[in-house]
Amino acid sequence: MRIRFYNARILTMVDLTAPSIFTGEVWTEDEKILYCGPEDKAPQATGEETAIDCGGNLLMPGFKNAHTHSAMTFLRSNADDMPLGEWLNQQVFPFEAKLTAEDIGTLSKLAILEYLTSGITAVMEMYLTPPSIAEAFRSCGMRLVQVGGVNNFSQSPELLEEWYNELNGKDPLTSFELGFHAEYTCSEELIEKIAALARKYEAPVFVHVSETENEVQECIGRYGKTPVAFLADKGIFDFGGAGYHLVHTTEEDWQILKEKKIGVVTNPASNTKLASGIAPLADYLRLGIPVAIGTDGPASNNCLDMFREMFLATGLGKLREKDASAIPAYDVLKMATVNGAHIMQQPETDSLAAGKLADMIMIDLQQPNMQPLNNIANNLVYSGSKLNVLMTMVHGRILYERLDGIQRFHVGEEPADIYKDCARIRDRILGA
């Protein structure tokens, strides 16, 4: 099916040096972008295609949430105001042990609804039951990249390899990458086994790393090295990958990240709420280390909102550097779109161009927070809101739209039914 989007402002994210916005049309055919360019060069409309008047609003690539734990929706606003170690051991791990695979799939659907309202078209997920998560995302039409969460207590290198082989190449919307929870939850032997898998498949690895000062100091106490240096020495990053958080790092760590081509996925809201610290994003950008943005899970954030993450990424970065020019808005927009797509191994979703996958959002520029249109890219980062998202398209399908102030989801289920199912799970796990 062909869809013609016309009368649109278009931000393609193809130009990485400066935002280039023009008026034109985007045509999609099935899951691909057929055309993206000025109106006078667009295909001839025949009347058979679906035509959508964008009303002068903005079309742009969807946001990429490069780190999350979707099914933790059941813990939203239940496990708050605690330091990370206490939060994990008292409020997270004990309750997660009671979840079934079916629970996790259902709880993930609640997160998918929220992602769509924030213009997020793909997520990088780490959680407990990858097969049921893949099915939940597939049934909703949402793009998913999963990574393993192996640790000393759950999952295993054997399961990781099984999922890597079984969950790749089966569906265009879902894929799976090697990963494990963190250095501090994995034995040295376990980490060596995962490094062996990375060598076997010549595959990148994804992991929580250097999130808190305590984590770093304990790793130095165990191995005489920072988590970044230890994992690199073990061969974890021989084929690239990314570290989630990377808040407390040294200059030596930075050189390892750069040399090993390790991406950084910053999670500013979660790191702020858990008082973990502020990542040195300005240093990463200065060194050319790619940075993407994740929301982290809805228990530690608690909001799956890319607009809030973008503002915090730049705002906290400026505060850390004591420099209002640090972390420019367009750099943050690249983190949330292009960089996220590449770190998630999804380059075909990074921009709007003919032949790319049709993962696209429409932003309402007619709201007060977007006026005047002095700098649309800056408006997105500094004053943008989920209320500006008029449409979210994934793989050529419109999954979410807001027309005349009314939200409509096209995910195969009614939101009210998902809410009820999640409430029942919450009551069973946490108690009414």
Q: Which of 294, 314, 347 is the last residue of a domain?
A: 347
Same domain, 233 and 101: yes
**265 in any annotated domain:** yes
Same domain, 112 and 258: yes
Same domain, 324 and 191: yes
- CB-hemisphere CA count at 13 Å for 305? 16
Same domain, 297 and 337: yes
Same domain, 43 and 129: no
Same domain, 321 and 363: no
Residue 246 to residues 34, 84, 217, 260, 289, Cα–Cα distance (Å): 38, 15, 14, 15, 12
**318 in any annotated domain:** yes
Evaluated on CA atoms 180, 181, 182, 186, the torsion sign reads negative
Q: What is the pTM of this model?
A: 0.97
Same domain, 271 and 355: no
Residue pLDDT tens, the chain, 432 long: 999 999 999 999 999 998 999 999 999 999 999 999 999 999 999 999 999 999 999 999 999 999 999 999 999 998 799 887 888 888 888 999 999 999 999 999 999 999 999 999 999 999 999 999 999 999 999 999 999 999 999 999 999 999 999 999 999 999 999 999 999 999 999 999 999 999 999 999 999 999 999 999 999 999 999 999 999 999 999 999 999 999 999 999 999 999 999 999 999 999 999 999 999 999 999 999 999 999 999 999 999 999 999 999 999 999 999 999 999 999 999 999 999 999 999 999 999 999 999 999 999 999 999 999 999 999 999 999 999 999 999 999 999 999 888 999 999 999 999 999 999 999 999 985
Same domain, 309 and 252: yes
Report whether 361 contacts 394 (CB < 8 A).
Answer: no
Same domain, 374 and 362: yes
Same domain, 303 and 370: no
Rounded Cα distance between 411 and 67, Å, is 22
Rounded Cα distance between 335 and 338, Å, is 6
**415 in any annotated domain:** no
Structural domain tally of the chain? Answer: 2
Rounded Cα distance between 176 and 172, Å, is 11
Cis peptide before 372 (omega within 30 of 0): yes
- CB-hemisphere CA count at 13 Å for 67? 35
| CATH code, 19 | 2.30.40.10
Report whether 194 contacts 164 (CB < 8 A).
Answer: no
**201 in any annotated domain:** yes
Same domain, 127 and 216: yes
β-strand 360-363 against 291-293: which pairing, if any?
unpaired
Count of beta carbons in the 10 Å neighbourhood of residue 326: 19
Same domain, 29 and 114: no
Find the domain containing 371 and state its range.
2-62+348-409
Count of beta carbons in the 10 Å neighbourhood of residue 255: 14
What are the start-end ranges of the E strands in 210-316? 241-245, 262-266, 291-293
Rounded Cα distance between 311 and 112, Å, is 22
Q: Which of 311, 330, 347 is the last residue of a domain?
A: 347
